[in-house]
Amino acid sequence: METNNEYRLVPGFGNSFSAGWRVMMDNFLRLFLVIIILAIVTSPLKMFDFKFNMSDLHNLPWSLGHNFGHGMDSLPVIGAFGLFAAFFGLLAMLYTFLVKPVFEYGGSMIFVQAVRKIKPDFEYLIKGFMQNYLHIILANLLVVALVVLGLFALIIPGIIIGCRLAFVSYIIMDKKLDPIEAVELSWKLTRGHGWQIFFMGFVSIFIVIFGLCLLIVGIFPALIWISSSFAALYESVLREKEKPVEAPAAETV
């Protein structure tokens, strides 16, 4: 049952997906717009995915392409193309670490607002550039570094770290903590819920695949449902941890 016009937020695998489904149905158009925007802001990475192939030069309109690799005269041109590829690779890296996280963290907060039955504020998508920017960038960098280090350590530690730090983006935007505090709080909140997060992530893969099978357009409802479900899990765990402990009733003599 829902009380006080709120969703039934109880930590758990099934409860999170159930609440996430309700959140999606109640806010579909708004959350659909968020997913569209996030898809657009990540698309520049495709433009920066420059790959240089020597065989492509044979199709150039000038004969230089046929001479590549057949003399020292071609080395300056090869170097120019190498610098060109390195430049776009640098742009991709800067965009990935300095721009993309702001939109993603803002999107996470919008889904939390939807779970809380607050009208989603689209300004959160860009609010991170004006507020809390450094914390967002550093937190994202710290999480990526920890997960990568864990993956190098026989993979399983990386998966564990990824699950335990799943709430960092929500905490940074919701609690306005610094990166270290956000990582520590996420680790504390996810204690006892790591397996739930892991199985939710595992099932999410199949939800995405099923969405793609539905004429591709099904990917959008799939992503909305998944994002809403993880936001519901965060909110339910947060409420559980912050619930005040009731003092025992005084014994009557």
Domain annotation covers residue 246: no
Is the pLDDT at 221 greater than 90? The verdict is: yes
Domain contains 250: no
Would you place residue 253 in the very low, low, confident or very high pLDDT band (cuts 50, 70, 90)? very low
Question: 90 pLDDT band (50/70/90 cuts)?
Answer: confident
Determine the average pLDDT of the residues in 117-137.
Answer: 94
Binned at pLDDT 50, 70 and 90, residue 52 comes out as: very low
* 30 is a domain residue: yes
**Domains held by the chain: number:** 1
Tokens of 244: 């005040």
pLDDT in tens, 59-77: 545 444 444 445 555 556 5
Establish if 101 belongs to a structural domain: yes
For residue 253, being part of any structural domain is answered with no
Percent of the chain with pLDDT over 70: 79
Segment 115-143 mean pLDDT? 95
Residue 249, in any domain of the structure: no
Range of the domain at 151: 13-241
CB-based contact 178:136 (threshold 8 Å): no
Has residue 69 been placed in a domain? Answer: yes
Task: For the full predicted model, state whether its pTM sits above 0.75.
Answer: yes
pLDDT at 97: 93
End-to-end CA distance of the chain: 39
Domain assignment present for 64: yes
Q: Give the pLDDT score at 209.
A: 95
